[in-house]
């Protein structure tokens, strides 16, 4: 009998129908009552009961005992004899008719499954408790007039069900007065609901009726865990019809959460009010007004820790969650209590709606801290706020791009908790960011598309760079930067520095190696250009040193950027070894590369040794020997001249005295000639 079952999700409905039919037939055939010969002709019974005036007085009320032959003959039970049901109506020997006061008919003799279900129901419990309003089989199904289910005249055809149940369950009935049934205006609401409208106005008999949710016979209150409308069963009840509802509720009931942690999800009825399922009703949820009865009070405080429990309704109505009901977040409220929030135990779990964000957050360092109950771990509300939560497009929101550096800075600014605990190499993160090209773009130029903290570190899945899953882990940096810097990533991944090109154990540079993380500056800034050479030199030590021996390097070292620096010749993101034909320094490209600065460059000009050093006799013998020849010349010259001078010095002092003496003598001689000149003090 299973081969007709194609889709597992439909199993229950088809299966039940099938079983029901089978059981019905089996019971019909093997039922002893059925097999028993009709011991009494129905006509015999109708001899008396065919009279309209036949009645019985009980408690001063007359009860008609008339059975309409026509009605019975058209009923579903027309094949049965009266005594099949009224078993104790067998005639007594020698007397006409039967003894008065027959037992109530036990439908369950035949309808065993229905009886079994009914016997578990609230209705049966009330019957057993002697409650006269409680319905029994015939209350709904009728007695001698029971029509086949398919008959338009059946009392329990879907289209008639709301009215049937509503005969007791509508405003003003004795049932509604006597019992505290949490729902009100059930029939009215139902008839206006999507289901009611479908059934009653559009005649869609597949629309959900009362029994679709509450079952026909096994009606139980929602507080009973066995009930189809108990909170934990609602989803499966609704999905009897709404079989693929998870597809349109992906955020709420996606994936494992649906299967493993249903208590974390709001029940269908938390959003779709049970008897009012209609789009226009969704927004109301569990009446926010009820919550506001207490929480509008500014003085209301938690009895546990004294924090204010005041909820500013205008704050919510201006928030991103203006259309969200209290109970959609505070999901464990129980409207049966005077204080529905009494049952709240868990804090709000935003991930019941924001599922992917929640998943990311659980994998972030923040989420890990929160999971460990570390007071430093920020929860959703620390960044997003609670009732005032705003979308990131709202400039007042703390997560609006221009507010993010400040938001993260609350903990990560120098001196704050997270910055104190942090042991990595980055310093003055927030300050440096603000001074960086990204920070200036964001905060000074107001470019809200500029990278903020969350663009690189992600909003919810931030992890330290040491974590291989981190967006800022060296292996992932290129991808992270590439999100904005289109094309650069692709170029970089083809370069020699890309791990896809270079298979090496050595650490390859990533974007941040050269551009830094938080101090990132414009690449046309002088400081950046000069810094690049030291940056390259961290790995390419020897070539950088020899570069600084050449004219280009020397000018750079003086702090000028107009001569060729590493990247001017080698390229930046597209850097390739000179052997590579695509390299800017390959044989076919090198002259063009030189020409960018030296327009008249030629093939031999490109032969200039840009990394020449005179310290390497093997690689550059000519330079080495030229240098040492020059140095030899210098040394010899200075040695000879120095020695000559040193030897001269003492004699020179002597000669100075001698000169002075002789000049004085010459002066005296001249004085004799009539000249009174003091000679030559000039040189002294």
Cβ atoms within 10 Å, residue 322: 11
- Tell me which residue of 442, 408, 441 sits closest to 426, measured CA to CA: 408
Q: How far apart are the first and last CA of the chain?
A: 134
- Label residue 36 exposed, middle or buried (CB < 10 Å: 0-12, 13-18, 19+): exposed
Binding span for other proteins by CB under 8 A among 231-239, 418-426, 477-485, 553-561: 553-561
649 binds other proteins (CB under 8 A): yes
Query: Is residue 645 part of the contact set for other proteins (CB under 8 A)?
Result: yes
Q: Which is nearer to other proteins, 159 or 543 (CB)?
A: 543
Please choose, from the candidates 351, 347, 336, 338, the residue with its C-alpha nearest in 3D space to the C-alpha of residue 307. 347
Q: Which range of residues in 108-116, 324-332, 449-457, 626-634 is near other proteins by CB under 8 A?
A: 626-634
Q: Does 602 bind other proteins (CB under 8 A)?
A: yes
The interface region with other proteins, picked from 157-165, 224-232, 357-365, 669-677 by CB under 8 A, is 669-677
Reading the block at residue 484, the tokens are 């904005």
- Using an 8 Å Cβ cutoff, are 477 and 511 in contact? yes
Closest CA to 564 of 595, 542, 534, 597: 597
Nearer to other proteins, 331 or 569 (CB): 569
| Candidate residues 12, 205, 232, 652; the one interacting with other proteins per rule CB under 8 A | 652
User: Which residue in the set 26, 283, 630, 639 belongs to the binding site for other proteins (CB under 8 A)?
Assistant: 630
Mark the segment that binds other proteins (CB under 8 A) among 41-49, 139-147, 229-237, 641-649. Answer: 641-649
The token pair that represents 450 in the structure block: 């500029």
Draw the binding track, 262-281, toward other proteins (x: CB under 8 A; -: no contact).
Answer: --------------------
Q: Of 420, 253, 10, which Cα lies nearest the Cα of 2?
A: 10
* 673 contacts other proteins (rule: CB under 8 A): no
Q: What is the bridge-based pairing of β-strands 61-64 and 55-58? A: antiparallel
Looking at residue 197, the DSSP 8-state letter turns out to be I
Is 540 near other proteins (CB under 8 A)?
A: no
Is 518 within 8 Å of 537 (Cβ atoms)? Answer: no
Nearer to other proteins, 13 or 640 (CB): 640
Q: Please count the residues of this chain forming the interface with other proteins, following the rule CB under 8 A.
A: 64
Q: Which two tokens stand for residue 176?
A: 């509604």
Distance (Å, rounded) from C-alpha 663 to C-alpha 263? 120
Cα atoms found within 13 Å of the Cα of residue 296, Cβ hemisphere only? 8
Q: Which is nearer to other proteins, 459 or 663 (CB)?
A: 663
Q: Does 639 bind other proteins (CB under 8 A)?
A: no
CB of 493 to other proteins, least distance (A): 34
Q: Does 501 bind other proteins (CB under 8 A)?
A: no
The DSSP letter of residue 64 is E
* Per CB under 8 A, 644 contacts other proteins: yes
678 near other proteins, judged by CB under 8 A: yes
Stretch that binds other proteins, among 99-107, 227-235, 250-258, 559-567 (CB under 8 A): 559-567
User: In this complex, which beta carbon is closest to other proteins, that of residue 507 or of residue 657?
Assistant: 657
Overall size of the chain counted in residues: 684
Q: Which position among 559, 588, 618, 668 is part of the footprint of other proteins (CB under 8 A)? A: 559
Q: Is residue 612 a contact residue for other proteins (CB under 8 A)?
A: yes
The residue within the footprint of other proteins, chosen from 555, 574, 577, 586 (CB under 8 A), is 555
Residue closer to other proteins, measured from CB, 207 or 613: 613
DSSP for 434-475, please give it: HHSHHHIIIIIS--TTS--HHHHH-SS----TTSTTSTTSHH
Rg of the chain over CA atoms, in angstroms? 49
Residue 647 lies near other proteins (rule: CB under 8 A): yes
| Minimum CB–partner distance for residue 514 and other proteins (Å) | 23
Q: How many CA atoms lie within 13 A of 27 on its CB side?
A: 14
Contact between 538 and other proteins by CB under 8 A: the answer reads no
Nearer of residues 20 and 655 to other proteins, judged by Cβ: 655
Name which position in 600, 618, 668, 673 contacts other proteins (CB under 8 A).
600
Q: Which of 627, 632, 637, 567 is nearest to 597 (CA)?
A: 567
CB nearer other proteins, residue 518 or residue 614: 614
User: Who contacts 184 (Cβ-Cβ below 8 Å, separation ≥6)?
Assistant: 171
**Which is nearer to other proteins, 232 or 635 (by Cβ)?**
635
587 contributes a contact to other proteins by CB under 8 A: no
Q: Which of 9, 182, 314, 560 binds other proteins (CB under 8 A)?
A: 560
Asked whether position 666 contacts other proteins by CB under 8 A, the answer is yes
The span from the CA of 399 to the CA of 660, in Å, is 91
Burial string for 82-111 (b: 16+ CB within 10 Å, else e) reads bbbbbeebeeeeeeeebeeeeeebebeebb
Query: CB-based contacts of 23: which residues, under 8 Å, 6+ apart?
Result: 112, 113
Closest approach, Cβ 615 to other proteins, in A, equals 10
Which residues are paired to 55 by β-bridges? 64
Contact 325, 319 (CB under 8 A): no
Smallest distance from other proteins to CB 535, Å: 18
Binding residues for other proteins, rule: CB under 8 A, are: 545, 548, 550-551, 553-555, 557-560, 562-563, 598, 600-602, 604-609, 612, 614, 620, 622-623, 626-627, 630-631, 633-634, 637-638, 641-642, 644-645, 647-653, 655-656, 659, 662-663, 666-667, 675-684
């Amino acid at each position: 009998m299973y081969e007709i079952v194609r889709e597992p999700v439909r199993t229950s409905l088809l299966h039940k129908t099938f079983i029901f039919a089978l059981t019905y037939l089996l019971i019909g055939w093997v039922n002893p009552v059925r097999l028993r010969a009709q011991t009494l002709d129905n006509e015999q019974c109708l001899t008396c009961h065919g009279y309209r005036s036949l009645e019985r007085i009980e408690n001063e009320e007359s009860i008609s005992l008339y059975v309409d032959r026509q009605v019975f003959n058209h009923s579903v039970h027309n094949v049965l004899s009266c005594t099949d049901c009224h078993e104790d109506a067998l005639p007594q020997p020698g007397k006409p008719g039967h003894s008065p006061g027959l037992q109530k008919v036990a439908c369950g003799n035949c309808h065993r499954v229905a009886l079994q279900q009914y016997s578990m129901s609230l209705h049966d419990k009330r019957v057993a408790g002697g409650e006269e309003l409680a319905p029994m089989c015939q209350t709904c199904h009728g007695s001698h007039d029971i029509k086949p289910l398919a008959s338009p005249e059946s009392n329990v055809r879907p289209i008639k069900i709301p009215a049937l149940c509503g005969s007791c369950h509508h405003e003003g009935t004795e049932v509604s007065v006597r019992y505290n049934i949490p729902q009100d205006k059930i029939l009215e609401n139902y008839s206006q609901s999507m289901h009611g409208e479908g059934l009653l106005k559009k005649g869609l008999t597949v629309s959900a009726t009362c029994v679709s949710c509450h079952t026909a016979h096994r009606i139980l209150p929602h507080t009973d865990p066995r009930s189809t409308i108990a909170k934990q069963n609602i989803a499966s009840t609704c999905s009897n019809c709404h079989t693929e509802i998870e597809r349109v509720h992906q955020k709420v009931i996606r994936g494992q959460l649906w299967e493993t942690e249903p208590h974390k999800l709001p029940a269908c009825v938390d959003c779709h009010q049970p008897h009012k399922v209609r789009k226009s009703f969704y927004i109301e949820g569990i009446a926010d007004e009820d919550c506001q009865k207490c929480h509008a009070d500014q003085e209301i405080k938690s009895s546990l820790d004294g924090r204010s429990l005041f909820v500013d309704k205008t704050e919510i109505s201006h928030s991103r969650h203006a259309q969200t009901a209290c109970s959609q977040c505070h999901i464990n409220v129980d409207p049966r209590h005077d204080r529905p929030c009494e049952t709240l135990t868990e804090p709000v779990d935003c991930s019941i709606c924001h599922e992917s964000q929640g998943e990311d957050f659980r994998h972030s360092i923040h989420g890990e801290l929160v999971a460990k109950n570390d007071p430093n771990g920020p929860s959703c509300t620390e960044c997003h706020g609670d009732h005032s939560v705003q979308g990131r497009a709202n400039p007042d929101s703390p997560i609006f791009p221009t507010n993010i550096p400040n938001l993260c800075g609350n903990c990560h600014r120098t001196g704050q908790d997270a910055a104190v605990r942090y042991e990595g190499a980055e310093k003055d993160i927030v300050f440096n960011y603000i001074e960086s090209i990204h920070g200036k773009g964001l905060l000074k130029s107001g470019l809200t598309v500029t990278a903020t903290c969350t663009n690189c570190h992600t909003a919810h899945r931030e992890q330290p760079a040491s974590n291989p899953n981190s967006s800022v882990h060296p292996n992932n940096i290129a991808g992270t930067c590439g999100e904005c810097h289109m094309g650069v990533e692709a170029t970089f991944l083809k370069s020699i520095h890309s791990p896809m090109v270079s298979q090496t154990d050595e650490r390859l540079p990533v974007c941040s190696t050269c551009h830094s993380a938080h101090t990132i500056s414009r690449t046309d800034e002088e400081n950046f250009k000069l810094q690049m050479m030291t940056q390259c030199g961290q790995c390419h030590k020897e070539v950088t040193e020899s570069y600084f021996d050449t004219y280009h390097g020397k000018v750079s070292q003086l702090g000028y950027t107009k001569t060729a620096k590493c990247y001017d010749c080698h390229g930046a993101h597209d850097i390739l070894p000179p052997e590579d034909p695509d390299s800017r320094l390959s044989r076919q490209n090198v002259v063009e590369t030189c020409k960018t600065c030296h327009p008249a460059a030629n093939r031999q000009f490109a032969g200039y040794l840009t990394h020449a050093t005179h310290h390497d006799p093997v690689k550059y013998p000519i330079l080495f020997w030229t240098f040492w020849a020059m140095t030899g010349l210098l040394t010899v010259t200075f040695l000879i001249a120095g020695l000559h001078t040193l030897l001269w010095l003492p004699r020179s002092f002597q000669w100075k005295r001698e000169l002075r003496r002789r000049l004085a003598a010459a002066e005296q001689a001249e004085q004799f000639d009539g000249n009174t000149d003091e000679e030559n003090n000039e040189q002294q």
